[in-house]
Amino acid sequence: MTVFLVSLFLPKTVHFTLPGTPPRGSVSRASRPAGEKNAGPEPVAPSLFKPPQNSITPPHTPTEERKPNDPFSNEDGVRIPPADTDTSLRAPIDRSSPQWGGRTDQPMSRANSPPPLSLLDSNRHLQKKATEMGRMGITQPRTLARSESHDRVFAHANYKIVSADQGNGGLRNAAEAASREGKLDDYTWVGTLGMPTDALQGTHQLQDIEDRMATEHDMLTVFCSDKDFDGHYSHFCKQILWPVFHYQIPDNPKSKAYEDHSWKYYVNVNQAFADKIVKNWKRGDVIWVHDYHLLLVPSMVRKKIPDAQIGFFLHVAFPSSEVFRCLAVRKELLEGMLGANLIGFQIHEYTRHFLQTCSRLLSAEATPDGLQLEDRFVDVVSLPIGIDPVNLSLHREEDEVLKWMAIMRERYAGKRLIVARDKLDHVRGVRQKLLSYELFLNKNPEWRDNVVLIQVALSTSEKSELDATVSDIVTRVNSSWANLAYQPVVYLKQDIPYAQYLALLSIADALMITSQREGMNLTSHEYLYCQDGKISEKKHGSLILSEFTGTSSLFGGNELAVNPWDYNSCAEAIKTALEMGDEEKQRRWEKLSDAVNHHTGSHWFTEFMSRLDRVYEEQHRREQTAVPRLSMNTLVKQYQSTERRLFILDFEGTLVSWGPVNQIIPMSPQRTLDVLNDLLLDEKNTVYVMSGRRPEELDRLFRRVPNLGLIAENGCFLKDCGSSTWTEMADSEQIRTWKASVKNIMTYYLERTPGAQIEDRRCSLIFHYKSAEDYESACRQASDCASHINDACEEQRVHAIPGDGCVVVEPIDWTKSTAAQRIFADLKAKMAPDEQHLTPVDFLMVIGDGRDDEKVFKWANALGGIGGTSSTATGTTDDGDEGEQQLVKEVVTVSLGNRNTEATATLTQGVSGMLLLLSHMPLRSNRPPCR
């Protein structure tokens, strides 16, 4: 079995050696190839404090295009340890990505930037405005220059395969940790090289690279045109998806959302990934797709390989439905994700947002475990990623780290250090952090000469006025409180070597993270790990962490949680962190460290894979094509060998063809009544019929069937066999309370949906819109209504379930399953075990056709030890109650619906076949078995 790890960027890429230039990543003359030892000066690693030797003027601030050794970026928050570069040049976590197509040792992009079909081409007003801006010195972006000779050089140049400096570092470290610990055997990466490849098309070079990547590194390379990749990554991912997932609506004035034509490039790249996977997939392989770049891949693969085992994990945050629904292609993205068997998110908040969004936009039934679609079930789980402590521990012991710790201790002797390292974009909250620090110094003059904030800001490829704003704040703070011996803010708009980064984390008194939104934040994990005191005095520094990071939900309040927009609270958090006592620091650190050591990258990786195996097996077992047809011969043997039999039969769609509960049945279904009477002639049989109808309706329908038990309104009312009175299972006071709230919400949508109506049942409310004047508009209103009720009334223990032309609002605590459990408990109390009968029921048959019958199937299977539960049926039901501590000898669950099911058998003949089956159940020797 092979595990395909599908990510946009491969862990390896290609660097070309062009004539007359030193190889990329060289760090000493001795390490350069022969003939190139005098090709230029040695590259010098950027330093926090030490300027380059033999330099009179300060060096230029590094830019993305100028960096000779771009370290490893990752949007997910953990670095990628390079295996083929000098240790001193290793990069810390969360490095910003070099501009795609802008490296000197890789081909230049042939894509137009921005992609064609820009509004400037067809809008004269915008053309005029662009010309006017040009006169003012503001120029439009232009395509990088390139030539045919440039392409020919790369097509024949020597190259080497090196560790890539962009991609998902958390995923790579987790996979390496799982492999190192023996929990992952055979795995293959699927992704792009992270560089333009049009210049290599049609050459043997491209095929040679693909072959070497596959054979030497177990990596399948996805090739797509420069235009497709540029439109996909630089435009749709970075300018539309990334802002939306971080709560920045794409319709703000500075958005590039008008370039919505980039959607087709997003589709093209996702399709290229799907085609590569399908081409190499073998039965038994596992496919694990990662992050927002590849949201469509699961469904694309599912269409070609229906029985594939597919997982998907989103490493960034997932926004609320109000934000996500702003996307023009919202349904396509959700349906793409739902091609997976298991969808994972970092924390429960993102999981809840995803379920609510699918319920609202796709009218899918959301459950605590996932989404019930029409043809299958998709499991959804929250599972936070972590760091690799083993790998981090090795790097902390390097001599370079110890050297920089000594340098910084000497430099900042007597000062308290607050450290921070963020991308310089609006999401990371660097501006809010600096303003809070300025407020802290204004309010606490005693700290002005005793604390230093070291802010490392990673520049992004897109320049904005945020750079200038942050620089102005830094200048203002330093001009206000600095002197010849003290600088309150050390601001570096560049990254630092990994050794300096680890040294900073080790000696810091506090780490401050003020992200406005972030999927996780593994910088905080590395900081806490480095504060264990093993390579420095035992400090246990404080952690100031934004409550809007995913990591915040893991730490249980032991961090100093802040709202980045509340400058006063952030300033108070800084004061608290600096003045906190040693005992409290240690107590907080111990609890925080426990969370970090539990949620490691290896644990995340192996836990997701094991859950994927479980849910795939369970889903495959429930598939309609995998569930066997009911065997009449086997059923007759089971029936004849038992003495105490319990039948629980659904009514609508199972015993009668009339489905909708609001449809009036014109007359009693005589054949159904005859079949039920025949069953009840045998005193060994106990029969219950369950329905969504009112008690009085069922009384009228079954008045000619004595000794029949009834379940009304999907478990809210129960009438025992032979009884003339109904037992109300639900709490009437609780029903009245939530009905008042739900009715107000339904009325709001009723007024906006002409032709719709509200049906008020005793324990439920139904919003009918099948007769609405505008059915499509009514569907949207109904989805919004269901989502609104599920969001607003969750604490009142009700849920709204979208149906065919209706939305049913029912209590969560009383279902058909709870009614069935009550029936079984009553039978145990009435019929105690004796010498002949060890159990109150030795034959249990449940028949149904709808979603609400699935819980009853699961409960019944648990009693018989079916479906992965123990033989004593000690599992739990979906309602949270413990399963019955009793084994039923023979359990038969039958589904009539054409859908995935918990039932152990199916019957394809529908209602007529079911009635024929039941008519042959009583013992009559001269009656032939039904086929």
How many CB atoms neighbour CB 920 within 10 A?
18
Q: What is residue 798's predicted lDDT score, i.e. its pLDDT?
A: 87
- Indicate whether 642 pLDDT > 80: yes
- Indicate whether 923 pLDDT > 60: no
Q: What is residue 250's predicted lDDT score, i.e. its pLDDT?
A: 65
Q: What is residue 148's predicted lDDT score, i.e. its pLDDT?
A: 56
Of 782, 758, 857, 861, the residue nearest 817 (C-alpha): 857
Q: What is residue 568's predicted lDDT score, i.e. its pLDDT?
A: 94
Amino acid letter for position 12: K
Rounded Cα distance, 806 and 589, in Å: 52
Question: Per mean pLDDT, which range of 33-47, 364-378, 495-509, 649-663 is the poorest?
Answer: 33-47
Q: What is residue 235's predicted lDDT score, i.e. its pLDDT?
A: 86
Rounded Cα distance, 634 and 653, in Å: 24
- Indicate whether 44 pLDDT > 50: no
Tokens representing 437 are 């620090």
Q: Are 8 and 191 in contact (CB under 8 A)?
A: yes
Rounded Cα distance, 848 and 854, in Å: 8
Q: How far is CA 355 from the centre of its chain?
A: 10
Return the percentage of the chain with pLDDT > 70, whole number.
79
- Indicate whether 619 pLDDT > 70: yes
- Helices and strands, number each (H, E), in the chain: 28, 29
HSE-CB of 201 using CA atoms within 13 angstroms: 12
Rounded Cα distance, 303 and 278, in Å: 10
Q: What is residue 888's predicted lDDT score, i.e. its pLDDT?
A: 84
Full 3-state SS string of 796-862: HCEEEEECCCEEEEEECCCCHHHHHHHHHHHHHHHCCCCCCCCCCCCEEEEEECCHHHHHHHHHHHH
Q: What is residue 783's predicted lDDT score, i.e. its pLDDT?
A: 85
Query: pLDDT category, 877, cuts 50, 70, 90?
Result: very low
Query: pLDDT category, 460, cuts 50, 70, 90?
Result: low
DSSP, residue by residue, 851-913: GGGHHHHHHHHHHTT-SS--TT---B-TTSPBPPS---SEEEEEE-SSS--S-SEE-TTHHHH
Q: What is residue 39's predicted lDDT score, i.e. its pLDDT?
A: 39
Question: Per mean pLDDT, which range of 167-181, 734-748, 915-929 is the poorest?
Answer: 915-929
Q: What is residue 912's predicted lDDT score, i.e. its pLDDT?
A: 81
- Indicate whether 928 pLDDT > 90: no
- Indicate whether 151 pLDDT > 90: no
Query: pLDDT category, 447, cuts 50, 70, 90?
Result: very high
Amino acid letter for position 614: R
Q: Are 404 and 92 in contact (CB under 8 A)?
A: no
Per the prediction, the chain carries an average pLDDT of: 81
Rounded Cα distance, 231 and 236, in Å: 6
Which pLDDT tens digit goes with each residue over 157-174? 888 999 887 888 889 989
- Indicate whether 871 pLDDT > 50: no
Question: Per mean pLDDT, which range of 66-80, 145-159, 312-326, 802-816 is the poorest?
Answer: 66-80
Rounded Cα distance, 600 and 606, in Å: 10
The neighbouring-strand residues paired with 646 are 686, 844
- Indicate whether 837 pLDDT > 70: no
Q: What is residue 101's predicted lDDT score, i.e. its pLDDT?
A: 67
Q: 757: helix, coil or strand?
A: strand
Query: pLDDT category, 92, cuts 50, 70, 90?
Result: very low
Q: What is the mean pLDDT of residues 14-42?
A: 52
Q: What is residue 306's predicted lDDT score, i.e. its pLDDT?
A: 92
Measure Cα distances from 912 to 509, 655, 851, 905 in Å.
Answer: 76, 8, 20, 17
Q: 104: helix, coil or strand?
A: coil
Query: pLDDT category, 124, cuts 50, 70, 90?
Result: low
Q: What is the mean pLDDT of residues 225-243?
A: 89
Angle between helices 522-530 and 498-507 (to 10 degrees): 70
Query: pLDDT category, 238, cuts 50, 70, 90?
Result: confident
Q: Which helix (H) or strand (E) holds 719?
A: strand 717-719
Query: pLDDT category, 56, cuts 50, 70, 90?
Result: very low
- Indicate whether 575 pLDDT > 90: yes
Of 386, 914, 318, the residue nearest 608 (C-alpha): 386
Q: What is residue 94's predicted lDDT score, i.e. its pLDDT?
A: 47
Q: Which helix (H) or strand (E) holds 16?
A: strand 12-17
Q: What is the mean pLDDT of residues 80-98?
A: 44
167: left (phi over 0), alpha (psi -120 to 50) or beta: left
Tokens representing 526 are 């590395």
- Please tell me which residue, 577 or 71, carries the higher pLDDT value: 577
Query: pLDDT category, 464, cuts 50, 70, 90?
Result: low
Query: pLDDT category, 62, cuts 50, 70, 90?
Result: very low
Query: pLDDT category, 832, cuts 50, 70, 90?
Result: low
Query: pLDDT category, 116, cuts 50, 70, 90?
Result: very low
- Indicate whether 73 pLDDT > 50: no
- Indicate whether 662 pLDDT > 50: yes
Give pTM, 2 decimals.
0.80
Q: What is the mean pLDDT of residues 197-201?
A: 85
Q: What is the mean pLDDT of residues 320-348?
A: 93
Rounded Cα distance, 504 and 318, in Å: 32
Tokens representing 605 are 């990786």
The H-assigned helical ranges of 397-515 are 399-411, 430-443, 465-481, 498-507
Q: What is the mean pLDDT of residues 146-166?
A: 75
Q: What is the mean pLDDT of residues 396-401?
A: 88
Q: Which helix (H) or strand (E) holds 575?
A: helix 567-579
Rounded Cα distance, 651 and 653, in Å: 6
Q: What is residue 111's predicted lDDT score, i.e. its pLDDT?
A: 74
Question: Per mean pLDDT, which range of 92-96, 311-315, 348-352, 856-860 is the poorest?
Answer: 92-96
- Indicate whether 57 pLDDT > 60: no
DSSP, residue by residue, 379-427: EEEE------HHHHHHHHTSHHHHHHHHHHHHHTTT-EEEEEEEESSGG
Q: What is the mean pLDDT of residues 869-885?
A: 40
Amino acid letter for position 583: E
With 0-12 / 13-18 / 19 or more C-beta atoms within 10 angstroms meaning exposed / middle / buried, residue 130 is: middle
- Please tell me which residue, 352 or 133, carries the higher pLDDT value: 352
How many CB atoms neighbour CB 896 within 10 A?
23
Greatest mean pLDDT among 38-42, 182-186, 834-838 lies in 182-186
